[in-house]
Structure formats: structure tokens, C-alpha cells
Amino acid sequence: MKAYVLHGVNDIRLEEVDKPGPGKGEVLLKVMACGVCGSDIPRIYQNGAHNMPLIPGHEFSGIIEEVGEGVSEKLAGKRAGVFPLIPCRECKPCRDKLYEMCRSYDYLGSRSDGAYAEYVKVPEWNIIELPDSVSYEAAAMLEPISVALHAIRRVDLNKKDRIAVCGMGTIGQLITMILISSGYSEVYSIGKGSAQKERACSSGLLNDRYCDTRKEDTKSWIREKAGDIDVYFECVGKNETLSLGVECAAPRGRIVTVGNPYSDMKLDRDIYWKILRNQLTVSGTWNSSFTHDKDDDWHKVIDMMQSGLILPERLITQRLSLSDLEKGLHIMRDKTEDYCKVMMTAETGID
């Protein structure tokens, strides 16, 4: 089969590799769609992966083509999404069904081979069957949407809250989409450029509730438009955007740290004082819940897709075949054109 293999930092190649066979408790998935995550870019071009050579790609969906020992033959031919984190199911978090915080996990696309390929083998435990109404592209976005929903569920929201989402990459856009579709009216988004604004407004965000940081002084804009912020989602991962949330927070406000850090995160003394004096709650969020229960993040997202509350395909800006996927990686690395979600899809011709 064809696959992109990461041999080392800045050394990714489209190659012919052996098609994997499913082992005990595994299925072989024919990849129908795979999104490029923002974390894939530093993994490929700056930092490398935990294990190399490696096939990246952890946001994907497909058709179960073959089943391994101990897996029901009835799954063959089923459409599936995939939770990419493979928990040990033995540590304390796993015993508490907090699999996203497993202390000894594997991960498709960063520790084990992922889906920048025609086929990928996956533990049966990690698959979620798809309703016919959920497309492969939408299912390939189950992972980032579930991450966004998980962040939202980290705080106790009420409909009167003034909510700011800082950072309009994929996760920030999805948080905005979910909040607005769920009936939160006081949502303010902070991003860069007209394309991000257009996407946010397509989710129902009011035009005057989008701050373009290239044109506005963000702190002044928040004070003028929203006043104090009750809940602030930090989706950038920089000192200045975290500090902004603290400075603009209402008394007893809540800050959710979502963005992967660009570098060391440090708080000035005055910012730290504001956390104390305003009795702020600063929460971390990580990954998403996948427990096979109907109220986990993944099942909730599928319910939202089926009801039409969220339309994730709106955020797909580039659709590419497997052979052309590297063009999408370069767009994200070099920022040569506008993008939100770059998607590899079989419908463009995986060849």
C-alpha cells in the first residue's frame, strides 16, 4: 500500500509499504478520510515523533475491511470512526474510565502507525460505528470536535455567561460552533483575518462579536464589547493570550487552557495576583472522553451531527488525495494560503 512514512525530523516520504494485517482484537480499516491536525506539523517538521519510522495521522475514518482473531465478522464492511488513543486499561485513570489520562498509552499517528495511508490497523476497542447520516469527512473530524466538546464540558456554563474563545484555529472554531448551536448567545471570538471571521460567522457568531487582532487592540475591544468575561477558552497556547484571559476575567471567572503551548508558559506577578484576587478558576483540558457510554464526548458529538447542531464540513478548506497530501502539510507549515482543516479524502482519489 501507499503511505507517508516519517523517517526523521523534516523527512517524510510517500512510499510503498507492507499492508498491515489485523492482529488479535484488531480490525483493518480502509482509510476514507483523514484530517491533518495542527500538532502534526511540528511532529513532522520540528520535533519528530515518539517512534520513527512512523506513519502519522490520527483524525480519520474508514471502512472495516478485515477483522482479526476474537473480533466479530459482523464488523466487516462497517463504517467507523476511530478514537486514536490506545489506553493501557490498567492504570488508575483507566480503572476510573478516564482513558484520556492513561499513564501508559499508545497513540495512533504519533506512537504507532496512523492513517496517512491507504490502510491502518486499529484495536476493535477504539472504533465507533457510524450512522449512515454521518459522512466520512465528518467522522474524520470526530476527534477534534470531541476535543472541543471536552473543553466545554470542563466548565459549568449557564446561558447568561459572557464567553470568549481566543484562537480561531480548528479547535477554537469548533468550540464557537458548539457553543452557538447549543444556545449560548453571549459568545465572543478572537482571531486573525477575515477568513477566520467568515467561518466563525457561518456558525452563527454575530459580526460585531469577532475581534480581528490584526486590526483591534484586543483588551480594549473585549472591554467595549463584552465587559468582564465569565468564561475564557484559551486556544492558542501563548503567554500573552493566557494573560489576556486573566486580565479580562470577571470576578470568579473561569479560564480553560486548551491550546498546546508554543514555549514555556510564564505568568507575570501582576497576572498571578489577579488570579488570586478575582478568585479565578484555571482548568486544563486534554483530549476527550471515549468510554463506550452514550454520554461520552464521542457519542455526544455523533448525536449532535445527526441532529444537525454542528456541521463540521464547513471548516474543511482543502481536500486532497493521498498522493497530494504533502501539499496540505506545506500549506500549514508555510502558511502560504488560508486554511482551517486540511482533509485527505478517498473521494478525491486515494491512489
Model confidence pLDDT, tens digit, residues 200-232: 999 999 999 999 999 999 999 999 999 999 999
Residue 107 CA to residue 23 CA, distance in Å, equals: 17
In this prediction, residue 347 has a pLDDT band, given cuts at 50, 70 and 90, of low
Query: In sequence order, which ranges of 3-47 are alpha helices (DSSP H)?
Result: 40-42
> What are the sequence ranges of the domains in the chain?
2-145+288-348, 155-284
Contact 234, 166 (CB under 8 A): yes
Q: Does domain 155-284 fall into CATH 3.40.50.720?
A: yes
Q: Is the peptide bond before 53 cis (omega within 30 degrees of 0)?
A: yes
Residue 165 CA to residue 171 CA, distance in Å, equals: 10
pLDDT digits (tens, 9 = 90+) for 247-261: 999 999 999 999 999
Q: What is the mean pLDDT of residues 165-185?
A: 96
Residue 24: all three cell numbers together:
488479535
Closest to 140 (Cα-Cα) out of 298, 351, 327, 328: 298
Residue 176 CA to residue 203 CA, distance in Å, equals: 7
Whether 350 shows a pLDDT value over 70: the answer reads no
Query: Which parts of the chain are beta strand (E)?
Result: 2-8, 11-16, 26-35, 59-67, 79-82, 85-86, 106-107, 119-123, 127-129, 163-166, 187-191, 210-212, 229-234, 249-257, 281-284, 316-320, 341-345
Residues counted in the chain = 351
Q: How many helices (H) and strands (E) does the chain have?
A: 11, 17
Q: Does domain 2-145+288-348 fall into CATH 3.90.180.10?
A: yes
- Burial label for 58, CB within 10 Å (0-12, 13-18, 19+), is buried
Whether 351 shows a pLDDT value over 80: the answer reads no
The pLDDT of residue 349 is 43
Phi, psi of 268 (to 5 degrees): -65, 155
Residue 10: all three cell numbers together:
523534516
Candidate from 173-177, 205-209, 343-347 with smallest mean pLDDT: 343-347
The pLDDT of residue 152 is 98
> Quick one: what percent of the chain has pLDDT higher than 70?
99
pLDDT digits (tens, 9 = 90+) for 40-79: 999 999 999 999 999 999 999 999 999 999 999 999 999 9
pLDDT digits (tens, 9 = 90+) for 118-163: 999 999 999 999 999 999 999 999 999 999 999 999 999 999 999 9
The pLDDT of residue 262 is 86
In this prediction, residue 315 has a pLDDT band, given cuts at 50, 70 and 90, of very high
Q: What is the mean pLDDT of residues 315-322?
A: 96
In this prediction, residue 346 has a pLDDT band, given cuts at 50, 70 and 90, of confident
Residue 54: all three cell numbers together:
512512523
Residue 335: all three cell numbers together:
502558511
Residue 97 CA to residue 87 CA, distance in Å, equals: 10
Q: Which residue has the cell 505568568?
A: 267
Q: Are strands 119-123 and 106-107 parallel, antiparallel or unpaired?
A: unpaired
Handedness of CA 156, 159, 161, 164 (dihedral sign): positive
Tell me what the pLDDT averaged over the chain comes to.
96
Q: What is the mean pLDDT of residues 280-299?
A: 97
The pLDDT of residue 81 is 98
Residue 127: all three cell numbers together:
472504533
Handedness of CA 129, 60, 305, 284 (dihedral sign): positive
